[in-house]
């Protein structure tokens, strides 16, 4: 599903963000990518969604070599990869349902598809009863659930969650992780990018640890020990 083949990224003049990264994430896996700030996690995510290209090596998503992807193909790629960030980036003057629908509207989805999909994804994250509320009427955990719902509207094969619990307390963090596990159980490959040891260790799933731009550990049912 996701392959990095001897990938390095060097920012001029000589700043090494990633060095000779090789990893393979299989379809349907739930994998945590961990490491302290500055270890290369963000660069890895940027390569997945074609915001950055390797200085060396290949990046392959679902059999598609995206290393030198054409600009016109990038929207196609990004509809296959759902993204969740620490910053919610919700539209304050739109309701929960309208925020989710907007992700479909911008790609020209039909009104019929929007009416069908929005309730489905809100049900997955447990917000169907709050579809008419505005972001300011929601808790931080609920706002993050809206972000997750929005990321699911294109039925992505891969969901990348970049520090999704960074602004949340422990209770809301557990709820968000439970939703990610539920999405994974439905067949979506999940990549959790985080430095939260408690979240990672409670998952008991595969853990890939980065340090100084290199993979220093790749363990099934691993722990984050750095």
Q: What is the pLDDT of residue 14?
A: 79
User: Rounded CA gap, 25 and 12, in Å?
Assistant: 29
Domain ranges of the chain: 89-155
Please give the model's pTM, rounded to 2 decimal places: 0.91
Place of tokens 């929207």: 75
pLDDT at 36: 87
User: Which tens digits make up the pLDDT trace of 91-133?
Assistant: 999 999 999 999 999 999 999 999 999 999 999 999 999 999 9
**Residues in the chain where the model's pLDDT stays below 50:** none
Look at residue 148 in the predicted model and tell me its pLDDT.
96
What is the DSSP annotation of 45-105? Answer: HHHHTTSS--SEEEEEETTEE-TT--GGGHHHHHTSEEEEESS----TTS-HHHHHHHHHH
CA distances in angstroms from 58 to 9, 102, 218, listed in the order given = 11, 33, 19
| pLDDT score recorded for residue 151 | 95
Radius of gyration over alpha carbons of the chain, in Å? Answer: 18
């Amino acid at each position: 599903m996701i392959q990095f083949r001897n990938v390095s990224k060097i920012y001029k003049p000589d700043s090494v963000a990633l060095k000779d990264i090789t990893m393979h994430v299989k379809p349907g896996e739930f994998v945590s990518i961990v490491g302290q700030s500055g270890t290369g996690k963000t660069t890895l995510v940027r390569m997945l969604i074609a915001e950055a290209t390797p200085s060396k090596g290949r990046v392959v998503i679902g059999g598609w070599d995206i290393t030198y992807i054409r600009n016109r193909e990038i929207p196609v790629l990004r509809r296959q990869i759902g993204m969740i960030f620490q910053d919610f980036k919700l539209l304050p003057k739109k309701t929960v349902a309208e925020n989710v629908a907007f992700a479909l509207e911008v790609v020209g989805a039909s009104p019929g598809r929007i009416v069908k999909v929005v309730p489905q994804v809100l049900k997955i994250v447990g917000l169907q009863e709050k579809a008419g509320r505005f972001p300011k009427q929601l808790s931080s955990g609920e706002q993050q659930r809206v972000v997750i719902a929005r990321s699911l509207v294109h039925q992505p094969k891969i969901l990348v969650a970049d520090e999704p619990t960074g602004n949340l307390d422990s209770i809301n963090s557990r709820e968000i992780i439970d939703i990610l596990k539920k999405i994974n159980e439905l067949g979506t490959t999940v990549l959790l990018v985080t430095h939260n040891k408690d979240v990672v260790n409670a998952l008991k799933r595969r853990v890939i640890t980065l340090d100084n731009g290199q993979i220093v550990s790749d363990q099934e049912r691993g722990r984050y020990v750095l």
